[in-house]
């Protein structure tokens, strides 16, 4: 189905439609949270392709319908689209996990950047790096835009070109957990060997 579509929000008891404009990253209780920006003017509305419209509609329905909102897709003529009675584009489930990318020159240091899966209206499935996930940028998280890219490596390259030396690679966020787990295993093996050694007879014992 050709053409573009709008994502519509209606709050509890509201008759006026609110159009999705963009996603914004806001700092809420110390955490960077992605929220939708909406407006009543259609001229400000973002234009979705069919696949992205359905992905974003379903994602925001999970978040806002329990709060009493209606979230749906419309075409430029004001017709609600892609509901169950229609042939709805079926987006692939996003089962991607965050990954850790070591940039060129840091392969042997274990230092890199955390890259997360993301979805954007224009690009569909993509990847992103948030300033809050880069320790050297954490104090700028509230005023720094998230970097997006088509794959993890390209996202890191785009981030380095944008943030420059402000973005310093760091150990993987789970590296300390792995070190702690390894230390725990070594300690358990040591304690086990001590227990097995207790009571053993040595040559010459009666």
Q: What is the pLDDT of residues 31-44, one digit of tens each?
A: 767 789 999 999 99
Nearest to 23 by CA among 79, 74, 63: 63
pLDDT > 50? residue 1: no
Per the model's pLDDT, the better-predicted residue between 80 and 184 turns out to be: 80
Q: Distance between CA atoms of 123 and 49, rounded to whole angstroms?
A: 9
Higher pLDDT, 7 or 145: 7
DSSP state of 145: P
CA distances, 121 to each of 46, 94, 179, 180 (Å): 8, 15, 39, 40
Are 34 and 11 within 8 A, CB to CB?
A: no
**Tens of pLDDT along 10-38?**
988 888 999 999 988 777 776 767 789 99
For residue 186, the model assigns a pLDDT of: 60
The model scores a pTM over 0.85: no
Mean of the per-residue pLDDT values of the chain: 81
The residues, any chain, with a CB within 8 Å of residue 18's CB and separated by 6 or more, are 8, 9, 10, 11, 38, 39, 40
Residue range 68-119, pLDDT digits in tens: 999 999 999 999 998 865 444 445 567 888 999 998 888 788 899 999 998 8
Domain ranges of the chain: 6-80, 99-171
Residue (of 23, 18, 50, 48) closest to 34 by Cα position? 23
Give one DSSP letter per residue of 92-121, joined into a string.
Answer: PP-----EEEPPTT-TTTTEEEEEEEEEET
pLDDT for the residue numbered 190: 58
Which pLDDT score, from 0 to 100, does residue 124 have? 76
CA 46 to chain centre: 21
Residues 178-190 have a mean pLDDT of 59
């Amino acid at each position: 189905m050709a053409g573009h579509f709008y994502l519509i929000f209606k709050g509890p008891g509201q008759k006026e439609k609110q159009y999705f404009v963009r996603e914004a990253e806001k700092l809420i209780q110390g955490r960077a949270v992605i929220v939708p920006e909406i407006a009543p003017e259609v001229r400000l509305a973002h234009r979705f392709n069919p696949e992205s419209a359905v992905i974003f509609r379903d994602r925001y329905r999970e978040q806002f319908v329990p709060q009493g909102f209606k979230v749906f897709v419309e075409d430029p003529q004001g017709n609600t689209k892609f509901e169950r009675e229609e042939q709805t584009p079926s987006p692939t489930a996003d089962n991607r996990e965050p990954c850790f990318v070591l940039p060129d020159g840091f392969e042997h240091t274990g230092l890199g950047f955390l890259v997360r899966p993301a979805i954007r209206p224009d690009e569909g499935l993509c990847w992103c790096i948030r300033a809050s996930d880069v320790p050297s940028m954490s104090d700028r998280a509230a005023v720094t835009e998230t970097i997006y890219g088509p794959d993890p490596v390209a996202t890191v390259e785009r981030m380095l070109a944008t943030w420059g030396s402000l973005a310093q690679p760091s150990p993987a966020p789970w590296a300390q957990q792995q070190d702690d787990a390894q230390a725990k295993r070594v300690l358990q093996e040591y304690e086990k060997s001590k227990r097995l050694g207790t009571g053993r007879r040595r040559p010459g014992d009666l």
